[in-house]
Structure 1
């Protein structure tokens, strides 16, 4: 196996650290489930944590990864899951598909041509199917941690809507998520210059703060958040 580059190593460490935030992941799993249909494809599956949780609720699921080294690990981890197909995918591309939905969490911010990437997702999904996204929010929160993990931008609801509409998609749902997470992320990465890796602060937030944040945001949508959640439809 080839040695990981510096950026790949940082990305892997962050993914491994965030994998311990179980409550956070389950919240975001629940957000997407109503829109995935019977045969979705995930763009940028990383370590496969989301794929495993979504696939438990679905008859079929396709996980993808662009990074060759991470793809090997993903195939090894998911090889015992008969419902999950694993394949390589790099966006943008010209492939046509008939998936019920495309879901992509914290991937679009890595891609320079994000409108082209969204068009590629649209072409993978049958008419009427959904594109389900989570991306990091607010450019002021762009930090060295973002740059080290390959982020080229962060989003607002407006910039996310603009990108979706430019890709020929119809926006169905668009809101911020995890308001307190934005404050915590900004303090950790911009003020204290930390990386969002596994540690006691991540576990403390996930165990004590996250459940209350989730409950509150199910009642009232916040005007800001750590992430933008978006659902858009492929035109009929």
Structure 2
């Protein structure tokens, strides 16, 4: 069964557009850093923006991608980084590993059997290691943009925690992130039916709104957000 559903071309266009949201990426990079350990693996590295940022913080890093065309581009982009291994990976799978953590951002929502996908991530990580997930939040925000990029669901804290628990993981931390982003995303994609690509709105939000949102959420966790961030442990 293929890992990713939806229009691969549209997915690539969205990835390229969101790559310009530097402050957003920096925030989400920082969320995962405390849990990465010494040898993490990323599931669904896309164009490699997160892989490049995380590889600067750890001795070894493995980047993976399911889509063959993006895998070629990923290998080309990371070829000059000797501490990064690049490999193809589809979920679910039967591989096992000894990584310190598995990190996967905005991938799980593409996969029909998300519990099996989480089990596959679990099996790549040594006991006590972390599975670090970000997924889009709230089904009411499911838009034409979600459908075009292959999303089969959006999550709440409860639904993501339930899937992780069913996969044999122990949830350690889970919270919403980017509260104002959910409002902006809903208006742009659900009301005005726009795609989240590079453009003035992305740049304005990333430059002016997001830094204040990040600062506020470091003091107080919001009751909603554009994304759900979760960390779960592989039982010892």
Instruction: State how 1:24-103 maps to structure 2 within 5 Å.
Output: 24-103=24-103
Is there any run of 5+ residues in structure 1 with no aligned partner, and where? none
Is there any run of 5+ residues in structure 2 with no aligned partner, and where? none
Q: SS at 2:230's partner residue? A: strand
Equivalent-residue separation in structure 2 for 1:172 and 1:140 (angstroms)? 26
* CA-atom RMSD in angstroms: 0.9
* 1:149 equivalent in structure 2: 149
- Aligned-pair distance for 1:6? 8.0
- Aligned-pair distance for 1:120? 0.3
Q: SS at 1:218's partner residue? A: helix
Equivalent-residue separation in structure 2 for 1:8 and 1:169 (angstroms)? 30
1:7-63 Cα deviation digits (max 9, x unpaired): 111000000000000000000000000000000000000000000000011100000
1:136-176 Cα deviation digits (max 9, x unpaired): 00000000000000000000000001000000000000000
- Confirm or deny: 8 A CA contact 2:105 2:133 kept in the other structure: yes
Equivalent-residue separation in structure 1 for 2:179 and 2:147 (angstroms)? 22
Q: How many residue pairs were aligned?
A: 232
Q: TM-score, normalised by structure 2?
A: 0.97
Equivalent-residue separation in structure 1 for 2:111 and 2:9 (angstroms)? 18
Runs (4+) of structure 1 moved beyond 6 Å?
none
1:49-104 Cα deviation digits (max 9, x unpaired): 00000001110000000000100000000000011000000000011100000000
Equivalent-residue separation in structure 2 for 1:8 and 1:72 (angstroms)? 14
